[in-house]
Amino acid sequence: MKYKNLGNTGLKVSELCLGCMSFGVPERGDHPWTLPEEPSRVLIRRAVDAGINYFDTANSYSDGTSEEIVGRALKEFTRRDEMVIATKVFFPMTQGPNGRGLSRKALFTAIDASLRRLGTDYVDLYQIHRWDYTTPIEETLEALHDIVKSGKVRYLGASSMYAWQFSKALHLARQHGWTAFVSMQNHYNLLYREEEREMMPLCIAERIAVVPWSPLARGRLTRAWDTETARTRTDEYGNKMYAATVDGDRKIVEQVAAIAAVRTGAATTTPRCTTSWTRSTRHGRAGCATSDSPARG
């Protein structure tokens, strides 16, 4: 396993990060295709044994159970100071009006809840899952800065927003002397390359780590196009996400499989081929390539 600095920081992370959205109680939250604890632990252990030290989850994944599973497994399999644990905040965790978003109140409540679920006293990378249009960004940034200064978070990151929004947040943090974002987790893979227009160049210019989510396109880049899995049957959000580009996506998936077969003689290495592309691009070299968990595609 190779390691690199996370953007313009001294934090050393494995070049591959294990995305943990596939881990969680299937009956909790919006992802009925997730793996329960025992099979999740097998994959987490394999990642640790392979040298991966970077694990990414979110408070909203499977209603918090992803954080619980990841926290328990890492506590058993490795030492906390050797691991980089990343989680995210934004989506609703309660039915009340303050149980969501990026207000000061919501953030202070959310970080404490995530720490309890993860079983740790700090998070290495705390990421805003989306832009909050109902809260002034200045309030969000100052609250995040205070959380860092409290010792509960080491670094800050962001995910999936317009480049102008990210640029504004970076500028405001520097202007006010607040802790700035060091990473961007955005949607980027062979089927979706819109980020190359603005967000990727911004991250390169600002030395921001790029940590693409769904580099395997929710499993589409791991298997034959017509393969049916528990996830393809139940992942409503993912199916909607790629619905408008089905014809073009199928050609790309089939071409990647053909290339993988020629180079290795085994179509099952398609995920490796796809991940290698992400890591080899100019944008991929700017940060890390998040790995979709192989669980259920």
- Catalytic member of 61, 155, 188, 192: 61
Q: End-to-end CA distance of the chain: give it in Å, rounded.
A: 23
242 catalytic? Reply is no
Distance CA 28, CA 59 (A): 12
What's the chain look like in SS3? CCEEECCCCCCEEECEEEECCCECCCCCCCCCCCECHHHHHHHHHHHHHCCCCEEECCCCHHHHHHHHHHHHHHHHHCCHHHCEEEEEECCCCCCCCCCCCCCHHHHHHHHHHHHHHHCCCCEEEEEECCCCCCCCHHHHHHHHHHHHHCCCEEEEEEECCCHHHHHHHHHHHHHHCCCCEEEEECECECCECHHHCCHHHHHHHHCCEECCECCCHHHCCCCCCCCCCHHHHHCHHHHHHCHHHHHHHHHHHHHHHHHHHHHHCCHHHHHHHHHHHHHHCCCHHHCCEEECCCCCC
Distance CA 19, CA 293 (A): 6
Catalytic positions are: 61
